Each structure stands twice: as structure tokens, then as C-alpha cells.
Structure 1
Amino acid sequence: MVPLRKQLVTKYAVILVLPLFVAALYADLIWSPDDRVLGASQRIFYFHMGAAVVAALAFTLTFGASLGYLLIKDLRWDHMAAASAEIGTVFTAMVLFSGILWGKAAWGVWWTWDPRLTSTLILWVLFAGYLLLREWSDDLGKRATYSAVLAIVAYIDVPIDYMAVRWWRSVHPVVITTQGIHMAPKMVNAMLLSMVAMMAIFVIWMVIRVRLLDAEWRLRQIYQRRHQVLEDSPSS
């Protein structure tokens, strides 16, 4: 069971994040100015960027934890990889959805096979496949090994997704360059606050999900030991 102190820390962390998230919503929807070209639809972009940063962070953690499992063979690394992949897949779906909404306002179409959009969709499909693979086997070791290999291969698309607008012709805007961030100061602050709020949500969600996976693993071990004892005991 999760110690009471850890439960309280998580509870208070959630309470502290709520005002941060509300502040991010206020900055995104009310405080930041309209774009001169896109108008109010620009506000979708702050949410979009925050989700994109968290998705990249989550998949990077999945990549690192998968390497950790293959090297150490400790299932706690697998739990971290799985939890982070789950969250990253959700945030990637948010990136796609918000990108579709923003693209309709900016480009006049719901979808275009732009390099960035296409690579993001491929990323979502790869890690959705990772999650499906984890349901394939009840053998925890085999499942963790195959999942780790797939996660490492799938992670190749993360830097490709980031560099897509630089390597190929793209209609997707490049906001952050070596010259800085090409946005008004208020817009930059709103975007950064949105990123911080979403990263805080990611951290809390990650902690909770890893604890749940660890608890499931321990319960499974208890059940297996109990089942083994019953099998070894002489029948009456």
C-alpha cells in the first residue's frame, strides 16, 4: 500500500496545481492579446504548444526507462516507461486535436499532410501500438522486453517530428528559432505558463500512475505466491 505521507503529498500537489492550471487558462483565453492575423484562434496555439512539450518529455522518459529496463531487468523501469507512454499518447492526441482546430482557422482546412502533422500522427500511432502490445502477453518479463524495444524504435520519430519543419517544406509555423521566440511578450508568457501547468499535471499524473502499476505488480506477486502455496499444500 502507498504510505499515508505519500498520499498526502500527492493530494496537496494536486491542490497546488489547480490554481496554476486556472492561471494558465486565464492567461491563454483572456489576458493574452489576439493575433493580428489569426485573431482569437491564436489562443489554441498556447494549449497546443504545452501539450506538445509534455508529449515529447513523456516519450523521452519512456525511451530512457525502456533502456533502463533492458539494462537492469527491473520491472519498476518498465512501469515508469508504460506510465509515461500512456500519458504521452494522451497528450499527443491533444496535440493533434488542437492542431486540427488551429489549422482550420489558419489554413482553412481541417487536415493537410504537412510533414509536422504527419510525423505527429505517426508518433501517436507508434505509441498507441506500444500500449496495445502491452496487452498481448501475461508474461511480465516478455511483455516488458518487447515493449522496451518498440519504445526505443518508436522514439526515433520524436526528433524527426521536431525537425520536420526544418528539413522539409512545411506550412507549420516555426515559433522557436536560434534568433529567439517570434511572438509578442504577452503571448510568450501565456505559452510558457501553459507549458509549466501541463508539465506539473504530467508529473503528478506520472507519480500516481507509477504507484498504481507498482501496486498491481505487488498484488500479482502476492496472488501468485498464494496460488503456489495452495498447489504445494497436500490435499485433504
Structure 2
Amino acid sequence: MAWQWFHRLGSPKWFYEKTNAWMPWLLSISLLIIVSGSIWALGFAPLDSKQGNSYRIMYLHVPASIVAMAAYYVMAIAGAIGLIWKMKLSYMVMKVAAPIGAVLTAMALFTGAVWGKPTWGTYWVWDARLTSVLILLFLYLGVIALQEAFREQEVADKASAILSLVGTVNIPIIYKSVDWWFTLHQPASIKMTSSSIAPEMLYPLLGMITGFYILFTWALLASTRSEILQREMKTKWVKQALLEKV
């Protein structure tokens, strides 16, 4: 049963039809959580004893950073599935995950720079965490570039999948960089079993992380659905689906 479901999930038609009902719910829930979390974080979370109000950029920086790394795993796993099982849909997911991940990574770098100026006195330093996140951005851009570099989609997909898999080595480096090397970046405040953040600051942060994950899921599904229509535009079911939208 599980194997049958796995192959059914690889069908662009089945995926497109099944995800249609999810889209408005995912978008609405994500926006509700993010707006609520932002109001809580900016209006009701207390001042930090050392950083004052400047720490509030954390409520954008941390979710963007976490989901940017998760998006890379999604892209790499989708690429691996495409290489192993030759599923067209997995290659589509891989392709659309790259620009979403790039936006999240750029957002993490920008908000980190904004946070770093009042905290460290500089927008940028070449320490292990910041450099490895910059490499993450270049990996995303590399996958995007490979998708545009080849005329044959199959060749572009395979090349992108290989780069995605090679780049996964960078994700644990990002996560453990503050522990492995001396770095200006502060250590992780949230771990699997504990947190050094006060509860009244932590809860809105967890809400923002959840909201970003759901928004990423919506963006990934929406982009995949568009990619399906583009790649399958000559099939009868796509023509029928487009006619129903008119």
C-alpha cells in the first residue's frame, strides 16, 4: 500500500488534483500565524536585557534561516528521488525549491546583517556561520543556473540533482559551525531538548517558525503546480484543467 501511494504521489496529474484543495488553507493558516506572531513579537514580547529592541529582528531572521536549510534538504531529497526512481514530479519539486530557498537564504543574510550592526558593530564578518550560509545561497543559485544552462530538461534536472546532493555537506556545517570553530555568531539558542530563550520571547518565535514552514509548503506546492502545467501542457488533462479555469 505504501509503495502504491509513493508511485501515485509521483504522478503529476494526481499531485495537481489532490493539492488543489490544500492551497487556500495553507496560505490562510500561514499568514494568520505569521501576522499573529509578528504582533506578539513586536508589540508584547519584552525588551532584551542586553540588546534592547534590536533583538526583535530575530523573529524574521531565525525562521528564515531554519526554513532555508530545510528547503535545501527538500531540494536534495527530491533530486535523489529523481535520479533513483526517475520520477518527473520529484525533479519539478527540486527545481522550484531552489528559488524559494534562495529567497529565504537572502532574507536570512539580510536580516542577520541588520541585526549584526547594533549587536557586533558590523554588518558582515567572514566567520564560519555567515560564510557557510553565503555558500548555501550560491548553491541555490547554482541549481537555478543549471536549470537554465541546458536546452534538454532531463540533462538540466540530472545536473541540478547532482549539485544538490553534493551541497548537502554544507548544511551540517552551517548548523555546527558555531560549535566547531570560534565565531562571532552566537551559539544556537534553540536545541532539540532545551532553549536559552525566555518563554515569553520563545513562544512567538516558535509561532513564526511554524508559520514560515507552512508558508514554504504553500509556496512549494504552488510553484510545483505551475511547473506541472508548464511541463505537461501538451497532455489532455492539463488542457482540460486550463479550460476549467477560464
- Settle same-fold status: TM greater than 0.5: yes
Residue 26 in structure 1 maps to residue 56 in structure 2: no
Structure 1 residues 24 and 177: CA distance shift in structure 2, 3 A = closer
Question: Residue 36 of structure 1 is aligned with which of 35, 40, 49?
Answer: 49
Aligned to 1:230: none
After TM superposition, list the pairs within 5 Å mapping 1:175-190 onto structure 2.
175-177=189-191, 180-190=194-204
Question: Residue 170 of structure 1 is aligned with which of 169, 179, 183?
Answer: 183
Residue 117 in structure 1 maps to residue 119 in structure 2: no
Q: Pairwise CA RMSD of aligned residues?
A: 1.8
Aligned to 1:75: 88
After TM superposition, list the pairs within 5 Å mapping 1:57-76 onto structure 2.
57-76=70-89
CA distance in 2, matches of 1:114, 1:133: 28
Aligned to 2:64: 51
Residue 219 in structure 1 maps to residue 233 in structure 2: yes
CA distance in 2, matches of 1:220, 1:134: 21
Shift of 1:221: 6.3
Shift of 1:16: 2.9
Alpha-carbon deviations, 1:27-83, whole Å to 9, x = none? 221121111111101010121111111111110111111110110112211011112
Aligned to 1:105: 118
Structure 1 residues 8 and 179: CA distance shift in structure 2, 3 A = closer
What TM-score comes out, normalization by structure 2 length?
0.85
CA distance in 2, matches of 1:114, 1:166: 12
Aligned to 2:8: none
In our comparison, the structure showing a higher alpha carbon Rg is: 1
Alpha-carbon deviations, 1:128-173, whole Å to 9, x = none? 1110111011211111111100111112111111111111001111
Aligned residue identity for 2:216: F
Aligned to 1:191: 205
Native 8 Å contact 2:61 2:112 kept in 1: yes
Native 8 Å contact 2:19 2:221 kept in 1: no
Shift of 1:18: 2.3
Native 8 Å contact 1:28 1:194 kept in 2: no
Aligned residue identity for 2:195: I
Alpha-carbon deviations, 1:66-110, whole Å to 9, x = none? 110110112211011112222111100110001000100100111
CA distance in 1, matches of 2:118, 2:129: 17
Residue 133 in structure 1 maps to residue 146 in structure 2: yes
* Residue segments in structure 1 that go unaligned for 5+ positions in a row: 223-236
* Residue segments in structure 2 that go unaligned for 5+ positions in a row: 1-12, 237-246
Structure 1 residues 66 and 179: CA distance shift in structure 2, 3 A = closer
Native 8 Å contact 1:115 1:168 kept in 2: yes
Q: More deviation in 53-62 or 10-19?
A: 10-19
CA distance in 2, matches of 1:221, 1:68: 24
Aligned to 1:158: 171
Aligned to 1:207: 221
What TM-score comes out, normalization by structure 1 length?
0.88
CA distance in 2, matches of 1:18, 1:166: 34
Runs of 4+ in 1 over 3 A off after TM superposition: 5-9
Aligned residue identity for 2:157: A
Native 8 Å contact 1:34 1:40 kept in 2: yes
Shift of 1:220: 5.5
